[in-house]
Amino acid sequence: MENKIQELVFSFLDMVSMKHKEVEPGVWMAKVPENEQTFFNGFETLKFTFDRASAEKHRDLELICEGSFLLRRIIERLSEIPKASRLYSTNPPEVAPIGAEGGLRVISDKVYYRPRVVFNFKVQYECDQRREKLYSLVADTAAGIMSLDAGLHEIDLKEFSETAQPDIEIEESGVDILRLYLESCRKLEESLNEEIAELREWGDEQCSENLKVFEAYLDEQKQELLKKKENVSFHLYFFQKEEEIDRLIDNLEEERNRKLTELREKFSLRVKISLINAVVLCIPTIGVIAPKKRRSVAKGLNMAGIASSTGFATRSAIQ
Amino acid sequence: MMTNTISTRTRAEKSPLIKVESKGEQSFTFQIKGKAFQQGYLFLNPQMKELFPFNEDLSSITFIDDDDIVHSAIYHKMRGYMVCLTFNEWWTKKGVNEGNSVSIELIDLTRRTYRLRLVNGCESVPVVSDESVELKISSFVDQSVSYSSHNLEVLRRIVKSEFSPYSETSLVQLGEELSAGASTDGELLALKTCFGVSTYFHQVQTAKMVIEKLNGRALLADEVGLGKTIEAGLILKEYLLRGMAKKVLILTPASLITQWQQELKTKFDLSFKNHLEINDWDDSDLIIASLDTAKSQKNQNTVQQIKYDLLIVDEAHKLKNRKTKNWKFVNAINTKYLLMLTATPIQNDMIELFNLISILKPGHLSTVQKFKEDFLAERDKRLPKNSVKLREMLSEIMIRHRRADTLIKFPQRYVHTHSIDLNPDEAELYRELTDFIRKRYFTLPTHKNPRGINRLTLILLQKLMGSSTQALAKALGKMISSNFYKDDFDQSLKKLYDMAKNIKHSRKGQVMMEIVRSLNEKVIIFTQFRGTQDYIVKMLQDEGYSVAIFNGQLSQAEKDRCIEDFRGEKQILVSTESGGEGRNLQFCKVLINFDLPWNPMRIEQRIGRIHRLGQNEDVHIINLSAKDTIESYVLELLDKKINLFRLIIGELEMILGNMHSKRTLEQIIIDIVTMSPNQDAMRRKFKTLGNKLEKALQTHNEINIAQEEIFNGE
């Protein structure tokens, strides 16, 4: 873990043009450029370590480790930078896949790059608890969604290069990127449905349990006040007393509304899906698929099934 | 490079643009044909584009159909089309055939929301609906899943071929992997980055329990000295690190604000702003304030309008009465998580406990009436019946550890007080200065006659005298050479300065040296003043002792080095900073109070530097006090009346709280010193104060006995 943190931090410093050097074993120093000083809490120089013992000895050192605020901020900042890359496979050309729609394969000797997109997603569940999960979807412009896996997609860089072979061009495909993305979102949501339902059920249970005891507690107070109100008629200034009791009842109502909102907010499930990055993998391909004759009626999913998977079709999939 | 890009086909060339049948001001009707019908692609003609006037290359559009189902589409402005996966599902559901008419009507441009209607093949202009779509959305649409707006930006980069080197893309990925990995291993992240904290099993258990089982709302009621602040700090930091809390408010007695701030800074690297340092309660996400200030007329509404993620209330027993402003105020603060800290959840009456729990989880202990019936013994309001059942219910909301349960060894504390006879010249100076202060106190500078010495300076002179004549001489020297004191009309300051300057040997200094000579181990010597520190250091160095000097003028790095030197080769640390620096000095077992602050909390902080959780050996506290001085009276008060030097760290605040005074003990002492016309009057006032302190201690002990019976009795 520590090595990965170091790798991340050093790469980040390089990215923001901060040269760093090891000033003593395990302690690094970097000059913070003016435009980055706000990010580094106004410091002109960042002196940091990855070693807890060193940081404990020297309190002026910034400890960067799991759970440190600076690491968290670096990660947050990186996640705010939209990133997409394109890599070219160095493997021999493949034969064009037929894909879900099927069709006739036409083989020619022309080699072209067929794009395949890796979408890496982060799913954040927030209720009373919070958890994060990572998923990757690989979608081929010819074959559609190929895989959905937990964790982020590892690319074997031995098989890819950042430069294209000069004589091969990228062929546009029959499926566009936006559609692939939307299909990936749909696939991802489908896979999350069970977990979402489970968490939602837990939140609802917690919320209603809390609400039940709270309602009883407030009702008792209200009943007591009402009883009191009945009895104040014997009081000399009964009208004032009654007004006071009415005010207290109003206050209880106010409290009820406030706590209800508080409880609902606390236990309502929120799921946020973020596209961490996307990598377009260009696969050398031979042959093209002639599309089948189009069907006259749209290939649709069963709407009833969708509606029953709570909220699937009703969400804003992109924003 | 443009030829080498991924590009969606120029569909417009192959798929005809949608033909508008009719157009209203905010709507249009069109026939669904071809790709629109088959795959949900809409190729907008110029007339339609007017209804989608967005600047971004890619934007998300929301369509709400007749059944209030939301369809999300992405609009690719440059290519003039939008794509939606669920359009054709809707056609299928509604039995729409290719060629039927559909209308699109703008609902909300800022939210990019449109109404999608089936016109059933007729060519009529769609009926503009008056119904509140807002309501419909909120009541029918499950909005629990949302997509980051950032997603489209990633897509835009692909569409526009703005690719980054893979090293940068994978860096983002590595960050996310680290972040997700950190949140799943079940360990407290907070533990990995807190300093100077010897976390104990019970503290870690408490933090985990509150986060995982108690939904972040709990009464932390450990016995004093077991580190409730550390527990709250762990929970707080964990919530911050897990991203579950952002806005946090800590309410504490004013006397503990600085201590909380220091502990959170040094141990958890959290910078809480005292509300007095900022303009607005909303200026900072991490705020600490006194309960009194927060609930004041001026602040009350503002605080209650803010939505906090976490609220921590220290000394929560101040909320024991639901009729008080304290209770009502805290009960009305909107917060997701709530921690209430007190070692004494019950002081006089079991209902107090009910009231505290009612803020945390209203109704958890049922209703007041039922609670009384089920749990209140008739003979004593402090004792419960059905205590087993009560404890079971409390375990879901309250965590209490006893020192005895934790098996933590609490070493002995030995106190040695040296009552010193001042040298005749020192005694004379002491008398002269005290008289001078008393006289001058009654002729304090006023607005009309601003000349003279102000109250704070007079008190400072008195304290300096109690510390050392050397510190006093230094301060007096500065005063008489400054312009402000040029009109020292009766030359008293000059006279006092001459007297102080001529005293070469301090009796207290001599006694301290005798003590140091008799010790062969590490010693911390505390003083309040730099002048005294210089004097002590000189004496020690003249005799060849190795001394580390710690004071507020050192930089952070110098302070670190100083502590490391003391941990290493230096035998003696002379420190002026008593504040909880959070540094671990528990390798030292002997502490000398060369002088005594009038504020007992500062004395407790000094002791806390070497004697608190984590110290395994007995410690010795040596007090130097000159006979018949104010310091000796203060010492007697604190030592004899409330056993200050033997109290567990944290207990002092609880005892002082039982005095129910709005003034701090230091303020009371200052008033006694400055307002007493003579020595005898002063002694009498100190005696009365002593009695009050004794009573406060007695109440404290009674409460402790009651807690024990409630929470641990049979």
* pLDDT of amino acid B9: 44
Average the pLDDT over A31-59 and give the result: 88
pLDDT over 60 (residue B513): yes
List CB contacts of A103: < 8 A, sequence separation 6 or more.
Answer: A289, A290, A291, A292
Per DSSP, what are the bridge partners of residue B60?
B74
> Is residue A318 included in any domain, yes or no?
no
For A315, the closest of B70, B148, B335 (CB atoms) is: B70
Q: Cβ contacts of residue B394 below 8 Å, gap of 6+?
A: B353, B357, B711
* Cβ–Cβ gap B334/A268 under 8 Å: no
**Structure tokens belonging to residue B86:** 């669920």
Chain A, 83 to 102: residues with Cβ < 8 Å from chain B are: 83-87
In a domain, A319, yes or no: no
In this model, does residue B198 exceed pLDDT 80? no
| CB B582 within 8 Å of CB B563 | no
Any chain A CB within 8 A of the CB of B98? yes
Q: How many CB atoms lie within 10 A of CB A293?
A: 6
Kindly give, in sequence order, each residue whose CB lies less than 8 Å from that of residue B138, ignoring residues fewer than 6 positions away. Answer: none
A173 and A45 fall within a common domain: no
ipTM: 0.83
CB of B1 within 8 Å of a chain A CB? The answer is no
A46-55, B60-69, B381-390: range with lowest mean pLDDT: B381-390
Distance of CA A311 to the CA centre of its chain: 18
Same domain, A95 and A223: no
Cβ within 8 Å of residue B185, ≥6 positions away: none
Domain-embedded: residue A229? yes
A153 in a structural domain: yes
Highest mean pLDDT among A23-32, A291-300, B70-79, B673-682: A23-32
A residues 272-301 closer than 8 Å to B (CB):
272-280, 294-301
Q: Report residue B10's pLDDT band, with 50, 70 and 90 as the boundaries.
A: very low
Interface of A with B in 2-41 (CB under 8 A): 4-5, 7-8, 11-12, 15
pLDDT at B444: 64
In the predicted model, what is the mean pLDDT of chain B? 83
A247 at interface of B, judged by CB pairs closer than 8 A: no
What's the DSSP call for residue B376? Answer: B
| For residue B272, pLDDT beyond 90 | yes
Residue A98 confidence (pLDDT): 65
Q: Is the pTM of this model over 0.90?
A: no
Q: Is the dihedral of CA B598, B601, B602, B603 positive or negative?
A: positive
Q: Are residues A91 and A30 in the same domain?
A: no
Residue A93 structure tokens = 């050309």
Task: Label residues B474-513 b or e (16+ Cβ within 10 Å = b).
Answer: bbbeebeeeeebeebeeebbeebbebbeebeebbbbebbb
Task: Tell me which residue of A307, A313, A300 sits closest to B95, measured CA to CA.
Answer: A300
Q: Count the domains in chain A.
A: 3
The mean pLDDT value for B557-575 works out to 87
Adjacent-strand bridge partners of B312 = B250, B339
Helix (H) or strand (E) holding B617: none
The residue that leads in pLDDT, B693 or B283, is B693
Domain check: are A101 and A70 in the same one? no
pLDDT of A300: 39
Q: How far apart are CA A144 and CA A180, in angstroms?
A: 7
Tell me the pLDDT band of A132, cut-offs 50, 70 and 90: confident
The pLDDT value recorded for residue B500 is 92
Res. B156: pLDDT tops 50: yes
Examine the pLDDT at B121 and tell me if it is beyond 80.
no
Q: Is residue A115 a part of any domain in this protein?
A: yes
- Residue A35 located in a structural domain: yes
Q: Do B145 and A311 touch (CB under 8 A)?
A: yes
**Same domain? A28 vs A105:** no
Give tens-digit pLDDT for B497-509: 999 999 988 899 9
Answer whether A176 sits within 8 Å of B140, measured CB to CB. no
CA B301 to chain centroid:
21
The residue among B1, B147, B365 with the most chain A CBs within 10 A of its CB, best to mutate, is B147
Q: Does A273 contact B148 at a Cβ distance shorter than 8 Å?
A: yes
Tokens of B597: 């602050």
Looking at the structure, do residues A31 and A153 belong to the same domain, yes or no? no
Q: Are residues A49 and A11 in the same domain?
A: yes
Last residue of a domain, one of A51, A79, A107: A79
Residues in chain A: 319
Q: Write a three-state SS string for chain A.
A: CHHHHHHHHHHHHHHCCCCEEEEECCEEEEECCHHHCCCCCCCCEEEEECCHHHHHHCCCCEECCCCCHHHHHHHHHHHCCCEEEEEEECCCCEECCCCCCCEEEEEEEEEEEEEEEEEEEEEEEECCCEEEEEEEEEEECCCEEEEEEECCCCCCHHHEECCCCCCCEECCCCCCHHHHHHHHHHHHHHHHHHHHHHHHHHHHHHHHHHHHHHHHHHHHHHHHHHHHHHHHHHCCCHHHHHHHHHHHHHHHHHHHHHHHHHHHHHHCCEEEEEEEEEEEEEEEEEEEEEECCCCCCCCCCCHHHHHHCCCCCCCCCCC
Q: How far B575 CA lies from chain A's nearest CA (Å)?
A: 18
Task: Please list every residue in chain A whose beta carbon sits closer than 8 Å to the beta carbon of residue B86.
Answer: 313
A75 within 8 A of A55, measured Cβ to Cβ: no
**Domain limits at A125?**
82-192+271-310
Residue B140, pLDDT score: 32
For residue B178, the distance in angstroms to the closest alpha carbon of chain A comes to 8
B55 against A109, higher pLDDT: B55
Where residue A305 falls among pLDDT bands split at 50, 70, 90?
very low
Backbone dihedral angles phi then psi of residue A149, each to the nearest 5 degrees: -130, 150
Residues whose CB is less than 8 angstroms from the CB of residue B597 and which lie 6 or more positions away in sequence, other chains included = B528, B578, B603, B666
Copy the structure tokens of residue B375: 């749990």
In a domain, A95, yes or no: yes
Q: Are residues A161 and A224 in the same domain?
A: no
Do A218 and A109 fall within a single domain?
no
Task: Decide: helix, strand or coil at residue B356.
Answer: helix
> Higher pLDDT residue, B16 or A87?
A87
User: Could you say which DSSP state residue B355 is in?
Assistant: H
Q: Tell me if residue B357 falls in helix, strand or coil.
A: helix
Tell me how close the Cα of A57 comes to any Cα of chain B, in angstroms: 7
**Which residues of A fall within a CB distance of 8 Å from B83?**
176, 178-179, 182
Give me chain A's average pLDDT, please. Answer: 82
Residue A184, pLDDT > 50, answer: yes
Asked if residues A78 and A12 have their Cβ atoms less than 8 Å apart, the reply is yes
- Is residue A64 within 8 A of residue A13, CB to CB? The reply is no
Which of B97, B111, B176 should be substituted to probe chain A, the one whose Cβ sees the most A Cβ atoms within 10 Å? B176
Instruction: For residue B367, give the H/E element and its range.
Output: none
The pLDDT assigned to B304 comes to: 92
Using 50, 70 and 90 to split pLDDT, how confident is the model at B487?
Answer: low
pLDDT tens digits for A189-230? Answer: 999 999 999 998 988 998 998 888 889 888 988 888 888 888
Given A79, A107, A122, the domain boundary residue is A79
Give the distance, in angstroms, between the CA of residue B671 and the centroid of all CA atoms in the same chain: 32
Is B196 near chain A, with CB under 8 Å? yes
Residues in chain B: 714
For residue range A150-174, list pLDDT tens digits in order. 888 888 888 999 999 888 888 765 5
Task: Specify whether A258 is located in the same domain as A127.
Answer: no
Question: CB-based contact (8 Å) between A78 and chain B?
Answer: yes
Share of chain A above pLDDT 90, in %: 29
A176 Cβ neighbours under 8 A, 6+ residues apart: B8, B9, B83
Same domain, A235 and A100: no
**Selected residues 429-488 of chain B with any CB under 8 Å from a CB in chain A:** none
Q: Does residue B66 sit at the A interface (CB-CB below 8 Å)?
A: no
Q: Identify the CA nearest to B650 among candidates B262, B71, B225, B163.
A: B225
CATH number at residue A73: 3.30.360
How many CA atoms within 13 Å lie on the side-chain side of A275?
29
- Residue B458: pLDDT band with limits 50, 70, 90: confident
* A294 CA: distance to closest CA in chain B (Å): 9
| Amino acid at site B172 | V
A86 with A180, same domain: the answer is yes
Which of A29, A51, A79 is the last residue in one of the domains?
A79
Q: Is residue A206 part of a domain?
A: yes
> Are A59 and A45 a contacting pair, CB within 8 Å?
no
pLDDT the model gives residue B37: 76
HEC-encoded secondary structure of B381-419? CCCECCHHHHHHHHCCCEECCCHHHHCCCCCCEEEEEEE
